[in-house]
């Protein structure tokens, strides 16, 4: 049985025991089953190519269920899937969320940083998206830029540029949600940054949903991407303005699961 994968061997051994139990001639059942794995040619003159051709259909038959089961691990972006999700309270899956921001540096490039510490909740109604609500809380001192040359760089951005020492939380609290397409919408909310609150609108895309996500212990799950722009000067953040741009681009990726 060397030519068979492990799953195939297990299945054949199970069949062998079943035949022995049901047959009054266990030796015949044993020999008949062993014959499936041995060449019917007593002289064993068949080629390796013929062996591979003969075992390939069984290999495919064994792999097909595995391929089909893998489909259950991915979400689908369809109106039917969206409507099948239950309404209620959802929580951000923090290991599968990201929050990055970009600013112009010297007019040469968009300098990119991220927040490592943030959380969000979602009151979600797929049948009435406008009735949904999202709230996010971000730690401004959790900035990460991966600047190994300057270990204190992240701290200076969080404390100086974002005034995180004086205002230890950035809060976004949605005030309205508007659908713009089957899978897109605009979420407007009150953003409190450095102690100043201003309205900010995010363009949001629904990426897909699962009414029973295997990797989330069978809980319903939904995923979104969001993008927005703001002027940091509107929040009184003008530090380093001589070489850092005023516009800030925000990029969000988030997966939520039903509580």
Quick one: pLDDT at residue 80? 83
- As a three-state string, the secondary structure of the chain is CCCCCHHHHHHHHHHHHHHHHHCCCHHHHHHHHHHHHCCCCCCCCCCHHHHHHHHHHHHHHHHHHHHHHHHHHCCECCHHHHHHCCCEEEEECHHHCEEEEEEEECCCEEEEEEECCEEEEEEECCCCHHHCEEEEEECHHHEECCCCCCCCHHHHHHHHHCCCCCCCCEEEEEEEEEECCCCEEEEEEEEEECCEEEEEEEEEEEEEEEEEEHHHCCEEEEEEEEEEEEEHHHHCCCCCCCCEEEEEEEEEEEEEEEC
Is residue 236 within 8 Å of 193, Cβ to Cβ? Answer: no
Task: List the chain domain ranges.
Answer: 6-72, 79-258
How far apart are the C-alpha atoms of 175 and 217, rounded to whole Å?
32
How many residues are present in the chain? 259
Strand-pair partners of 132: none
Quick one: pLDDT at residue 58? 58
Quick one: pLDDT at residue 52? 57
How far apart are the C-alpha atoms of 230 and 190, rounded to whole Å?
12
Quick one: pLDDT at residue 84? 86
pLDDT by residue, tens only, the chain of 259 residues: 444 344 444 444 444 444 344 444 444 444 443 444 444 454 554 555 555 556 555 555 555 444 444 445 778 788 888 888 999 999 999 999 999 999 999 999 999 999 999 999 999 999 999 999 999 999 999 999 988 789 899 999 999 999 999 999 999 999 999 999 999 999 999 999 999 999 999 999 999 999 999 999 999 999 999 999 999 999 999 999 999 999 999 999 999 999 9
Quick one: pLDDT at residue 70? 46
Quick one: pLDDT at residue 82? 86
- The CATH number that domain 79-258 falls under is 2.40.128.110
Quick one: pLDDT at residue 59? 58
Region of 19 (left: φ > 0; alpha: ψ -120 to 50; beta: rest) is: alpha
Quick one: pLDDT at residue 8? 42
Q: What is the pTM of this model?
A: 0.72
């Amino acid at each position: 049985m060397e030519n068979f994968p492990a799953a195939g061997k297990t299945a054949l051994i199970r069949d062998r025991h079943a035949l022995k139990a049901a047959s009054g001639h266990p030796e015949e059942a044993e020999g008949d089953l062993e014959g499936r794995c041995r060449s019917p040619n007593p002289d064993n003159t068949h080629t390796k190519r013929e062996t591979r051709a003969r075992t390939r259909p069984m290999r495919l038959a064994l792999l097909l269920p595995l391929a089909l089961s893998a489909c259950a691990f991915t979400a689908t972006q369809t109106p039917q899937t969206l409507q099948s999700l239950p309404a209620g309270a959802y929580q951000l899956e923090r290991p599968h969320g990201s929050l990055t921001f970009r600013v112009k540096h010297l007019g040469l490039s968009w300098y990119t940083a991220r927040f490592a510490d943030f959380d969000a909740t979602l009151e979600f109604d797929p049948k009435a998206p406008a009735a949904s609500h999202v709230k996010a809380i971000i730690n401004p001192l959790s900035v990460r830029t991966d600047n190994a040359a300057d270990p204190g760089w992240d701290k200076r951005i969080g404390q100086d540029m974002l005034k995180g020492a004086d205002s230890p939380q950035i809060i976004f609290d949605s005030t309205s949600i508007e659908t713009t397409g089957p899978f897109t919408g605009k979420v407007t909310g009150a953003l409190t940054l450095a102690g100043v609150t201003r309205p900010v609108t995010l363009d949001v895309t629904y990426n897909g949903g699962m009414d029973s996500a295997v990797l989330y212990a069978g809980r319903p799950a939904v995923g979104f991407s969001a993008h927005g722009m703001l002027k940091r000067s509107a929040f009184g953040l003008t530090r380093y303005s001589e070489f850092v741009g005023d516009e800030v681009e925000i990029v969000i990726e988030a997966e939520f699961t039903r509580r």
